[in-house]
Amino acid sequence: MPGRRSIVASEPLIFELASSGRPGVRPPLAQFDDVDPASVLPEGQVRESLDLPEVSEIDVMRHFVRLSQRNHSIDTAIYPLGSCTMKYNPKINEVAARLPGLLEPHPYQPETSVQGLLALIHDLEAVLGEIAGFATVTTQPAAGSQGEMVGLLCIQAWLRSRGERRATVLVPDSAHGTNPATATMTGMRVEPLGTAPDGNIDLDELDAKLNDDVAALMLTLPTTLGLFEQRILEVTRRVHAAGGQVYGDGANMNAMLGRVRPGDLGIDVMHLNLHKTFTTPHGGGGPGAGALGVQAHLAPFLPGPQIVRRDSGYALEPAGPDSVGRVHAHLGNVGNLIRGYTYIRSLGREGMREVANDAVLNANYLRARLAPHFDIPYNRICMHEVVLAGTRQRRLGVRTTDIAKRLIDYGVHPPTVYFPLIVDEALMIEPTETESIESLDQFAEALISVADEAKTAPDLLHAAPSAAPVRRLDEVTANRSPDVNWTAAD
């Protein structure tokens, strides 16, 4: 397998590599000789030493390169983490984000001196609005979850502007976990909605729970089962008829690019994860960008400033009196806005459609290849991801955790496990459009081989991983008493 690694000896902490008096850089101290720290710093603030590792440049370089070689990343092999859209991040995005005119501006520079950057972000907002079907877009939220919070705050503000107060948010049990968390964060009450046997929202239950306290339905589309809500128009119609709003979780937008515009389906407000759908780096690879699109009636409540185009050029318009307020400095994580824009413009309109087509095709290819070997509770044409159940393997005494750990031995990053909660022993697989058929086959064959081992050699699974730099980790201790600080020995 590509990405397969042999066992690597344990890597010491950088502090353990330190050797007293071994500097990485020798600053030209002579320049500072005539300043006595005690004369410029407050009393008691002058230190003679710091607990920093003393290492040479080559020590630092080798340490971090070795660590990076033990890491699994989308640049080494397939990363089919369901719901996370771990697609390849094209390097042209990095080239654009490092162009001096985009990299170097300071947020407080005069607007007239950053017209190009403002034009880019203004156009990104327009393009995202066109892709998802929304009148106005803000790029300020730094994550999908923050976009969700701004969206619910906008809905609350809109309701208040109509003299209404509603405090209930309906959340299907096939939604992302951030949805109920966001509703709770904004002081609202979560009412769960069940999933019908066909994988759609149970309309009878929806009717029973819709009342004049329901502020919003938060809908993940496609759902975390990887399914398109087939009665979406009926769902949004009924929520609106009851005076509520529909929040769309757009984290799974990859499956719909160029095919369906959520704004056309009756969704009032939705976030888009640039770090999923539009190939900006995830998590440790960089800050997120959870742009938020709204229909016109919610636009007055968005955070400011917003970029406006005037005869004289682009300008920053401060938030209006109804705004829910600022949620991030300036325009959000600008570097990732540039990366996302570069991706969209380099693919173009047809490219967007192909992304969705191939993402859905790849997920269904895996669904068909894996169906003989795993239970699939909601087995119909899926969108960007397929959710398997390790229930057949559980009867052999093998749990989904064991399957996931064994995949590591095959050089494959395990899929998301035990989510969504409504699928027993869930394995949630999202290949994305960037994997070739060879790569999909290699992944499927690894998973099929593990399913065979569950029958013939289950101990291999129980003992996995055995070919990784570390064996099975103690997740209980990691949760209960994580120890992430290095402290100097006395």
Partner 1 sequence: MNVPTDARYSREHEWARFDGDDVVVGITPYAADELGDVVYVELPAEGLHVDVMDEFGTVESVKAVSPLYAPVAGEVIAVNSALDGAPELVNSSPFHEGWMIRVRPDDAATAIEDLLDAEAYDAFVDELLA
Cβ 282 to partner 1 shortest distance, Å: 22
Are 210 and 238 in contact, with CB atoms under 8 Å apart?
yes
SS3 (DSSP) at 293: strand
Give the per-residue contact string, 90-129, with partner 1 (x = CB under 8 A; - = no). ----------------------------------------
SS3 (DSSP) at 429: strand
Q: Which of 312, 456, 479, 485 binds partner 1 (CB under 8 A)?
A: 479
Q: Which is nearer to partner 1, 180 or 263 (CB)?
A: 180
Token couple for 130 = 């066109």
Tell whether residue 458 is a contact of partner 1 (CB under 8 A). Answer: no
With contacts defined by CB under 8 A, name the span among 95-103, 155-163, 308-316, 417-425 that binds partner 1: 417-425
Token couple for 386 = 């397929």
Q: Which is nearer to partner 1, 14 or 190 (CB)?
A: 190
Cβ 480 to partner 1 shortest distance, Å: 5
Q: Which of 31, 52, 395, 487 binds partner 1 (CB under 8 A)?
A: 395
Are 171 and 218 in contact, with CB atoms under 8 Å apart?
yes
Q: Which of 46, 126, 135, 421 binds partner 1 (CB under 8 A)?
A: 421
Q: Which is nearer to partner 1, 343 or 374 (CB)?
A: 374
Residues whose CB is less than 8 angstroms from the CB of residue 386 and which lie 6 or more positions away in sequence, other chains included? 226, 363, 364, 366, 367, 370, 376, 428, 429
Q: Which of 369, 376, 418, 458 binds partner 1 (CB under 8 A)?
A: 418
Q: Which is nearer to partner 1, 91 or 480 (CB)?
A: 480
Give the per-residue contact string, 363-392, with partner 1 (x = CB under 8 A; - = no). ------------------------------
Q: How many CB atoms lie under 10 A from the CB of residue 384?
A: 30
Tell whether residue 482 is a contact of partner 1 (CB under 8 A). Answer: no
Tell whether residue 483 is a contact of partner 1 (CB under 8 A). Answer: no
Tell whether residue 394 is a contact of partner 1 (CB under 8 A). Answer: yes
Size, binding site for partner 1 by CB under 8 A = 13
Exposure string of 121-148, with b = 16+ CB inside 10 Å and e = fewer, is bbbbbebbbebbbbebbbbbbbbbbbbb
Q: Which is nearer to partner 1, 15 or 419 (CB)?
A: 419
* Of 55, 51, 77, residue with least CA distance to 64: 55
Strands 245-249 and 189-193: unpaired
With contacts defined by CB under 8 A, name the span among 338-346, 349-357, 365-373, 395-403 that binds partner 1: 395-403
Amino acid at the residue 148: E
Dump the DSSP string for 128-185.
HHHHHT-SEEE---SSHHHHHHHHHHHHHHHHHHTT----EEEEETTS-THHHHHHHH
Binding site residues, partner 1, CB under 8 A: 394-395, 399, 401, 417-419, 421, 424, 475-476, 479-480
